[in-house]
Structure 1
């Protein structure tokens, strides 16, 4: 075999160098890698060669691309328990992540049939609807939509805007505690809007959770739908009584 035949392809050498950069901590989990243009300049090659290297790294699970955002070092998925008490901020902190929420929209409108049934209302009764983005260390983990009975909580949306926490907002409106009455999990594919917010590719796997939260008197206070980015969250079903768990 000649030396020319033994020569390592340039794209492979780039992948090896970037892999070493990650191994040595120069880029940590969740960090964004330099752009294709910057890597092309660093290694003195064209973008196609860099793209080949990044694709190989992605196939090996080292990095992942987010449409319109760039290429990021893969993270260990965040453990997210789902039990009788689901608290986003507490769950993230237990996983060692910094929680955050971005409120996308809030409105008061008439309830549809599904919302009314979940909240024990007559169809058409007013509900508050809050759409937002749940973050961990600044990275999008999930989209959420929370629906609340408007007549019972007239100032709730103002509290959510001010506190960026459903738990704190409900407490301010007189609900000191609430628990999960039901949860339904369904595997889905990200639609264009979900992909944009979660920085995924359209069609990437997501997991939808639909739940109803109730107060201590078993009255529904929230009907919530959450769409989790499939590669960033490991959902764990917990038994709050026994302490057992089942990982999804």
Structure 2
């Protein structure tokens, strides 16, 4: 059911509910969604509301409608929640996809002003930094650049071809709150080369700030996603 008194329109609530079901693997690429009548009964809304929700999902490329057959999850869509708190690897597993990683760089470098401010260091003080290319089913999907606090300097000697969150968990590092911002950016030469897109192509930039339970900063992550290979939902 949806919340009739919510400030979020009913059709938007249905979009979110169905998108969640796609992201967690309840509906996989190629699966048929419930019929209009079934969705009306499931959510307790009008036919117009259901049609508005399906149209928005179709416009976003999340589903495809086949005349006389029904509505199906798009076969080439990798779904993520824009406010996702899980690791990239875990999110791919939920969606039935295979995540892999290529470590491009790992070493010490001078942080930019944003990273230095977050980590509480002077921009003349080197910090540990990694750059990784994340792939979904073998396709370059995200270019990630992380800057780490001194507490995580042991990562220099860890294999980051695995999930970073799994490595931290094995080392007993607990995660506290995090913040995430989202904006559109345009592919630099480096990003275009690694993600196999045209220079200045539109990309999605997430900046994650991860903290320990005590509130101490642990690392800041700049993640650039290729929007041709996945969809985000709010």
TM (norm. structure 1) is 0.59
Match of 1:96 in 2: 96
Structure 1 residue 197: Cα displacement: 0.8
Q: Kindly tell me: are residues 92 and 84 of structure 1, through their superposed partners in 2, closer, same or farther at Cα, counting changes over 3 Å? A: closer
Match of 2:158 in 1: 159
* Secondary structure at 2:232 match in 1: strand
Does residue 230 in structure 1 map to residue 227 in structure 2? yes
| Unpaired runs of at least 5, structure 2 | 1-28, 30-60, 62-73
Aligned residues: 163
What are the equivalent positions in structure 2 for 1:148-187 lying under 5 Å apart? 148-149=148-149, 151-161=150-160, 164-180=162-178, 182-187=179-184
Any idea what the Cα deviations from partners look like across 1:75-94, whole Å, max 9, x if unmatched? Answer: 62311224362311111111
Structure 1 residue 155: Cα displacement: 1.4
Cα separation, 1, equivalents of 2:174 and 2:206 = 24
| Unpaired runs of at least 5, structure 1 | 1-28, 30-60, 62-73, 237-245
Cα separation, 2, equivalents of 1:233 and 1:193 = 20
Q: Kindly tell me: are residues 198 and 234 of structure 1, through their superposed partners in 2, closer, same or farther at Cα, counting changes over 3 Å? A: same
Match of 2:190 in 1: 193
What are the equivalent positions in structure 2 for 1:1-248 lying under 5 Å apart? 76-83=76-83, 85-149=85-149, 151-161=150-160, 164-180=162-178, 182-236=179-233, 246=234
Question: For the Cα contact (< 8 Å) 1:210–1:224, is it kept in 2?
Answer: yes
Question: For the Cα contact (< 8 Å) 2:152–2:218, is it kept in 1?
Answer: no
Cα separation, 2, equivalents of 1:199 and 1:142 = 11
Structure 1 residue 210: Cα displacement: 1.1
Structure 1 residue 205: Cα displacement: 1.6
Any idea what the Cα deviations from partners look like across 1:31-55, whole Å, max 9, x if unmatched? Answer: xxxxxxxxxxxxxxxxxxxxxxxxx
TM (norm. structure 2) is 0.63
Any idea what the Cα deviations from partners look like across 1:95-127, whole Å, max 9, x if unmatched? Answer: 111111111011112333221111223333331
Q: Kindly tell me: are residues 129 and 75 of structure 1, through their superposed partners in 2, closer, same or farther at Cα, counting changes over 3 Å? A: farther
Cα separation, 2, equivalents of 1:116 and 1:83 = 24
How large is the Cα RMSD of the aligned pairs?
A: 2.3
Question: For the Cα contact (< 8 Å) 1:178–1:215, is it kept in 2?
Answer: yes
Larger CA Rg, structure 1 vs 2: 1
